[in-house]
């Protein structure tokens, strides 16, 4: 069974983990973060920012219904980690398979680390104090710039650079600038500190530790033979290393793949691809998708496709996952049965900026098949299927079609508006 877990509290970092049937949260996924029990938090940074603990305090599952792609698989909505959609997981009592649907999202809860916050605050306050205006500061002339100037002056004295020494002495003299200028410089310094705090707070700057020796040791271990051990250890903890795409990433990848498959925007328009490329999926409603009660998973009276036809709703069940597995196997068999392979080469004319697509037959068919199989599995974990196989996929494809036909229209809907590429294709045609 595979589930996804959100790392760094970032919706773009929902990574896939593989677990066994009877495994509990404490067996692997909790240990993943704990450096004391063989976790990898000492080598890799999974916390949202430098102000949080390395280990989450709780783990939740997201019960947001999700977003259904046109090929019958589920993505996570941007609001899936809102408090109203989170249900706390039992870490040691029940196996994960009895608490979650396959491919459901785990959301760790991260608590703030008071030591890190106090340390960072002290550093920022000391930095601000050193840059107080000279006419206010009890210890004028101790700012970082002045200390660097003193080091340069020592070198200038050693090198016999009298002119440079005199200039530096003038700059190091207390109250060299007028009070108004000193206040202006201090305001700029306050803005600089606010900017630094913002970068650390949102995680744009997220070092593994304030301690430079810890940071160096971590980077050093990643660039030595221990990297092989780290990869092996991550695999033992169930980490696969493939992330579930957000809707925007899915749409971009799917759109480009379909245009490339068609051989350009004009061919895509002629083949009718733009009919579904405008909006290749839909948001599920309350009670559908991952909001389906887990007790119905093996209930023979609660079958996904029976309820789809009668209630026009998409409820999860073991029947649905068996259908997904069947389609995945059919896609793999389709690749294995290839007698020839083609690569699509994308070329961009540097002068006209026009994109052309050329097909080239591959020479090593077996290598090509292996590559296609790997890509299929990666794509499946990212968002499902680019395209469904010709056989054994009717039921999976019917999910989107039935829900789309019964979707209530909205006054603000723009799904029928042609895209810029579609307009260009029509003109070129």
Q: Residue 159 has what pLDDT?
A: 82
**Would you state the pLDDT for residue 419?**
41
Report how far residue 357's alpha carbon sits from residue 343's, in angstroms, rounded to the nearest whole number: 10
pLDDT at residue 5 is higher than 70: yes
Q: Beta partners for 4?
A: 16, 105
In the structure, what pLDDT confidence band is assigned to residue 198 with cuts at 50, 70 and 90?
very high
pLDDT score of 356? 63
pLDDT, position 426: 45
Predicted confidence at residue 357, as pLDDT, reads 57
pLDDT at 316 over 70: yes
- In this prediction, residue 33 carries a pLDDT of 87
Minimum mean pLDDT range among 108-117, 194-203, 217-226: 217-226
Which segment of 18-27, 235-244, 308-317, 390-399 scores lowest on mean pLDDT?
390-399
- Please report, in angstroms and rounded to a whole number, the separation of the first and last CA atoms in the chain: 48
Rounded to an integer, the average pLDDT of 19-45 is 83
Judge residue 73's burial from the number of C-beta atoms within 10 Å of its C-beta, 0-12 exposed, 13-18 middle, 19 or more buried: buried
The residue that leads in pLDDT, 187 or 224, is 187
- Bridge pairing between strands 342-348 and 355-361: antiparallel
What distance in Å separates the CA atoms of residue 228 and residue 234, rounded to the nearest whole number? 10
Q: Is the pLDDT of residue 165 over 80?
A: no
pLDDT surpasses 60 at 420: no
How many Cα atoms are found within 13 Å in the side-chain-facing hemisphere of 259? Answer: 17
- pLDDT tens digits along 251-290: 888 888 888 878 788 888 888 878 778 788 899 999 999 9
Residue 154 has pLDDT above 50, yes or no: yes
Averaged pLDDT of the chain: 83
Residue 51, number of CB atoms within 10 A of its CB? 21
Average of pLDDT values for 292-313?
93
Query: What sign does the CA torsion over 223, 226, 228, 233 have?
Result: negative
Contacts of 130 (CB under 8 A, 6+ apart): 142, 143, 144
Residue 90 reports pLDDT greater than 60: yes
Q: Which of 42-51, 172-181, 413-422 has the highest mean pLDDT?
A: 42-51
**C-alpha closest to that of 401 among 66, 69, 76:** 69
* Model pLDDT, residue 429: 42
Q: Using one digit for the tens of pLDDT, what is the confidence trace for 318-341? A: 999 999 999 999 999 888 887 776
Number of C-beta neighbours around residue 176 at 10 A = 12
262, 253 contact by CB (below 8 A): no
Q: Tell me the C-alpha to C-alpha distance, in Å, between residue 96 and each of 4, 29, 126, 325.
A: 12, 10, 48, 20
Higher pLDDT, 309 or 364: 309
The residue with greater pLDDT, 55 or 390, is: 55
352-378 average pLDDT score: 78
Output Rg (C-alpha) for the chain, integer angstroms. 29
Do residues 261 and 33 touch, judged by C-beta distance below 8 A? no
- Domains in the chain: boundaries: 265-428
Residue among 242, 165, 230 at smallest CA distance from 4: 242
Nearest to 16 by CA among 289, 315, 237: 237
pLDDT at 56: 93
pLDDT of residue 102: 95
* Contact of 411 with 274, CB cutoff 8 Å: no
Tell me what pLDDT residue 424 has. Answer: 41
Name the percent of the chain lying above pLDDT 70.
86
Query: Is pLDDT of 240 > 70?
Result: yes
pLDDT tens per residue across span 337-361: 877 766 666 666 666 666 665 666 7
Residue 307 has pLDDT above 80, yes or no: yes
């Amino acid at each position: 069974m595979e589930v996804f877990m959100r790392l760094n509290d970032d919706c773009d970092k929902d990574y896939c983990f593989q677990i066994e049937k009877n495994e509990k949260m404490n067996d692997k996924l909790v240990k993943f973060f704990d450096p004391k029990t063989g976790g990898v938090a000492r080598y890799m940074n999974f916390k949202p920012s430098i102000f949080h603990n390395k280990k989450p305090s709780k783990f939740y599952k997201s019960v947001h219904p999700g977003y259904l792609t046109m090929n019958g698989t589920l993505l996570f909505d941007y609001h899936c980690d809102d408090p109203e959609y989170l249900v706390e997981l039992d870490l040691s009592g029940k196996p994960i398979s009895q608490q979650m649907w396959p491919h459901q999202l785990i959301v760790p809860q991260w608590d703030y680390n008071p030591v890190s916050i106090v340390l960072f605050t002290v550093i920022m306050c000391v930095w601000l104090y050193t840059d107080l205006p000279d006419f206010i500061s009890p210890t004028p002339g101790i700012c970082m710039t002045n200390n660097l100037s003193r080091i340069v002056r020592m070198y200038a004295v050693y090198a016999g650079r009298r002119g440079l020494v005199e200039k530096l002495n003038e700059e190091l003299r207390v109250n060299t600038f007028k009070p108004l200028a000193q206040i202006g410089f201090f305001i700029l310094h306050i803005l600089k500190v606010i900017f630094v705090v913002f970068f650390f707070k949102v995680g744009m700057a997220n070092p593994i530790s304030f301690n430079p020796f810890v940071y160096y040791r971590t980077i050093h271990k990643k660039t030595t033979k221990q990297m092989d051990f780290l990869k092996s250890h991550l695999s033992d903890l169930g980490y696969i290393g493939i992330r579930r795409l957000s809707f925007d990433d899915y749409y971009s990848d799917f759109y480009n793949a379909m245009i490339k498959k068609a051989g350009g925007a004009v061919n895509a328009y002629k083949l009718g691809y733009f009919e579904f490329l405008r909006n290749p999926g839909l948001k599920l409603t309350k009670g559908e998708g991952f909001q389906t009660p887990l007790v119905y998973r093996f209930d023979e009276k609660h079958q996904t496709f029976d309820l789809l036809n009668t209630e026009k709703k998409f409820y999860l069940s073991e029947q649905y996952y068996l259908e997904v597995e069947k389609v995945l196997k059919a896609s793999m068999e389709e690749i294995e049965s290839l007698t020839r392979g083609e690569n699509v080469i994308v070329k961009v004319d540097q002068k006209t900026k026009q994109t052309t697509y050329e097909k080239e037959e591959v020479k090593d068919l077996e290598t090509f098949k292996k590559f296609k199989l790997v890509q299929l599995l990666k794509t499946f974990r990212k968002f499902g299927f680019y395209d469904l196989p010709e056989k054994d996929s009717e039921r999976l494809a019917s999910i989107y079609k039935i829900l789309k036909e019964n979707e209530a229209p909205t006054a603000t809907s723009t799904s029928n508006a042609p895209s810029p590429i579609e307009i260009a294709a029509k003109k070129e045609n």
